[in-house]
Amino acid sequence: MRAYKSPTRLFAFGLLGLLLLIASIDVMFAHWVSTEPENTDGVLTTRGHAQQRGDIIWGAVMLGTGTALFAGAFIELIRREPQCVIAAGGIEIPMGKHGQDVTVPWSNIRDVHGDIIKDGFDGSMREQLVIEVLDTADLPAEPQGAQWNGNDLQVDAENWTKGVGEFAIAAQGALGHYRRVDEIKHMEAPSLTWHTSVEAAGDSADEQIAPGGEVEAEDADVEVEPTDPPVEPVMLKPDESGRSHTDAPPPSDVLLDDTVSDDVAPDDVLNGDEAAEPSDPEETKP
């Protein structure tokens, strides 16, 4: 995340500088709005000469101030250098000599939060990004755009494009991520050992997995009974009388009675008709 100076404020400064430039030209030369020095028929009087000297002085001040404001705002709008950056190694702030970037590493940061603190230069209440550091030895003693309060580095966050609260929350998340990663790097991997035993159904059999990955069985006697072959389906076919019968021979356990009368149809016997009756009741044997 990056925080820049507010472009609205920079545009306002540039507009103010431009107005001062126009006013300086009016005061010194044009006199569009300002009053001309006292003169008589175009000849400056003694008082007019004094007024002219004063107009030149004021015009020069406005010209220099307007030029500085306009040029500074124009350059800042074009370059758009960040005022604070949350990077992988820490928080980068242009607080070094001549505005050089200085990185406060995550390992040297205790906490980050936002606050509204009284400015030590002009006494105004301004938004500050407070960075609590562990060691200040490697950081500038007189940082630009910031100030020290003990081990707290207070960075001026007034008129940033990002609110100081939003920026502080993002910095806290990055700090927590760094601490979790650093803790994982220094963590020792635990050693794990597995022992597995398998008991077969019926007979007890213990199987142990050897260190080489082979399975060792102890007294595992398992009997496997053969299974019956699958039974093929029997198709029924109709004969000339319209009844259905099978092509397969009758089962061996079915006994046919030799005393069956000739009046009983063979199809009735083959189809298992138990209620077949002879044509003459007298021929039936008791």
Q: How confident is the model at residue 9 (pLDDT cuts 50, 70, 90)?
A: confident
Is there a single domain that holds both residue 90 and residue 104? yes
Is there a single domain that holds both residue 62 and residue 110? no
How many C-beta atoms lie closer than 10 Å to residue 21's C-beta?
18
The answer to whether position 215 is within a domain reads no
Q: Note the pLDDT tens digit of each residue in 24-54.
A: 999 998 888 888 888 888 788 888 888 889 9
How many C-beta atoms lie closer than 10 Å to residue 253's C-beta?
5
Strands 43-44 and 39-40: antiparallel
pLDDT at residue 46 in the model: 86
Is there a single domain that holds both residue 171 and residue 121? yes
pLDDT at residue 285 in the model: 46
Is there a single domain that holds both residue 72 and residue 96? no
Higher pLDDT, residue 2 or 238: 2
Across the chain, mean pLDDT equals 76
- Indicate the residue among 185, 210, 239 that finishes a domain: 185
Is there a single domain that holds both residue 114 and residue 175? yes
Place of tokens 């009388």: 241
Is there a single domain that holds both residue 127 and residue 60? no
- Indicate the residue among 185, 212, 236 that finishes a domain: 185
The answer to whether position 88 is within a domain reads yes
10 Å CB burial of residue 72 (0-12, 13-18, 19+) is middle
Name the residue range of residue 137's domain.
Answer: 84-185
- Indicate the residue among 79, 102, 128 that finishes a domain: 79
The answer to whether position 243 is within a domain reads no
Q: Note the pLDDT tens digit of each residue in 203-238.
A: 444 444 455 544 444 444 445 455 555 555 555 555
DSSP notation for the chain:
-EE-B-HHHHHHHHHHHHHHHHHHHIIIII-SSSPPPPEETTEE-HHHHHHHHHHHHHHHHHHHHHHHHHHHHHHHHHH---SEEE-SSEEEE--SGGG--EEEEGGGEEEEEEEEEE-TTT--EEEEEEEEES--TTS-SS-TTEEEETTEEEEE-TTBSS-HHHHHHHHHHHHHHHHHHHHHHTPPPPP-----EE--SSS--EEEE-TTS-EEEES--------PPPPPP--EEE-TTS-EEESSPPPTTPPPPTT--TTS-HHHHHTT-TT---S-GGG---
Number of domains in the chain: 2
Is there a single domain that holds both residue 102 and residue 117? yes
The mean pLDDT value for 114-142 works out to: 87
